[in-house]
C-alpha cells in the first residue's frame, strides 16, 4: 500500500530525513512515532504528495504518488483519505458542506445522493443528522475530529492517513475516538498509517510500529519487537509503559 524508498527531505541546510525506508502492507495499522521535530508530519506530507522530497520515491498502491500524469495523480488521490492533526475543517463551511466537499469535487453525484452520503458518513462516526447544519466553530474538539474523519472517509478510501488523531482531546474523548477508529477499521478494512505520541492510542490500535529517529526509520515491526530494541528514543518513549507493565514503582 505504501512504499517509501531512500527518502531525503531538506529545508535549506536542515536535513530532516536521510534515507528513510518504510513499507506498509494492505490491512495493517502502522503507527509512526518519533521525537518532537523528528519529521513525522513531514513524512506524512511526502507520503500523500503534499511535499516533494529532495531525493527518493514514494509509491502508493504501486504507483508513484507524484505521477507526472495529472489524471493518474488525481485518480490515485481518490484512493486515500487524510485526517489532519487539528481536523483542518473549512471554517466557512457547515459540517454538511465539509463532508460533501470531496464528493462534489468528483462531479459524479447529484445533490440528493450527496445529502444521503453525508448522512451516512455522519452516522458512521456516531454523529446525528442534526449536526450537519452546525459550523466548525460550534463543535467540540471531539466533534471536530469526527467530522474530519467523516470527510476523510467520504470517498471510501483504501488507505487512511492520520496525524495525531487524539491530539487536543481529553482522555475520555480520546478513548472514545480510538474505539471508533478501531471499529471502523475492522468493519471497512482500510489500511492505516498513523502518527501518534499517545501510548494508549498506540496500544489500542497499532498492529505494527515504526520509529523515526536519527533522520531515518530505526525500527519497524510488531509493537513487542520494537519495544525490545535498544535505542535511546525507544527506551525513553516506552520507559514508563514498561515500568507499569512490570509492576515496578515509577521514577
**What residue segments make up the domains of the chain, in order of their start?**
2-88+157-246
Residue 103, Cβ density class (10 Å: 0-12 exposed, 13-18 middle, ≥19 buried): buried
Decide: 172 and 108 in contact? Cβ < 8 Å.
no
> How high is the pLDDT of residue 171?
86
pLDDT of residue 68: 78
Q: What is the pLDDT of residue 249?
A: 44
What is d(CA 160, CA 29) in angstroms, rounded to the nearest whole number? 9
Answer yes or no: are the C-beta atoms of 9 and 51 closer than 8 Å. yes
Measured distance CA(151)–CA(89) in Å, rounded: 9
**HEC readout, 150-167:** HHHCCCCCCEEEEECCCC
Query: What number of CA atoms fall less than 13 Å from residue 16's CA on the CB side?
Result: 23
Does domain 2-88+157-246 sit in CATH 3.40.50.300?
yes
Average pLDDT over residues 129-141: 93
Cα–Cα dist 165/206, whole Å:
13
What pTM was estimated for this model as a whole?
0.89
Type and span of the H or E element at 138: none
pLDDT in tens, 84-128: 988 899 999 999 999 999 999 888 888 999 999 999 999 999 999
Residue range 29-82, pLDDT digits in tens: 999 999 888 899 999 999 999 999 999 999 999 999 988 788 888 899 999 999
Amino acid at each position: 500500500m505504501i512504499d517509501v524508498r531512500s527518502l531525503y527531505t531538506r529545508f535549506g541546510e536542515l536535513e530532516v530525513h536521510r534515507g528513510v525506508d518504510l513499507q506498509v502492507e494492505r490491512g495493517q495499522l502502522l503507527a509512526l512515532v518519533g521525537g518532537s521535530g523528528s519529521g513525522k508530519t513531514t513524512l506524512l506530507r511526502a507520503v500523500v504528495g503534499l511535499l516533494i522530497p529532495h531525493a527518493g520515491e514514494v509509491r502508493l498502491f504501486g504507483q508513484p504518488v507524484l505521477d507526472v500524469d495529472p489524471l493518474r495523480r488525481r485518480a490515485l488521490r481518490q484512493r486515500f483519505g487524510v485526517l489532519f492533526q487539528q481536523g483542518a475543517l473549512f471554517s466557512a463551511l457547515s459540517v454538511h458542506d465539509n463532508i460533501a466537499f470531496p464528493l462534489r469535487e468528483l462531479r459524479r453525484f447529484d445533490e440528493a445522493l450527496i445529502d444521503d452520503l453525508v448522512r451516512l458518513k455522519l452516522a458512521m462516526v456516531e454523529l446525528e443528522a442534526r449536526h450537519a447544519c452546525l459550523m466548525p466553530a460550534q463543535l467540540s474538539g471531539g466533534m471536530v475530529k469526527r467530522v474530519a474523519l467523516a470527510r476523510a472517509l467520504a470517498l471510501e478510501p483504501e488507505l487512511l492517513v492520520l496525524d495525531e488523531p487524539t491530539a487536543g482531546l481529553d482522555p475520555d474523548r480520546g478513548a472514545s475516538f480510538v474505539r471508533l477508529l478501531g471499529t471502523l477499521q475492522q468493519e471497512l478494512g482500510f489500511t492505516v498509517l498513523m502518527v501518534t505520541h499517545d501510548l494508549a492510542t498506540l496500544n489500542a490500535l497499532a498492529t505494527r510500529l515504526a520509529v523515526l529517529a536519527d533522520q531515518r526509520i530505526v525500527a519497524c515491526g510488531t509493537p513487542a519487537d520494537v519495544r525490545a530494541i535498544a535505542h535511546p528514543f525507544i527506551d525513553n518513549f516506552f520507559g514508563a509503559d514498561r515500568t507499569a507493565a512490570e509492576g515496578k514503582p515509577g521514577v
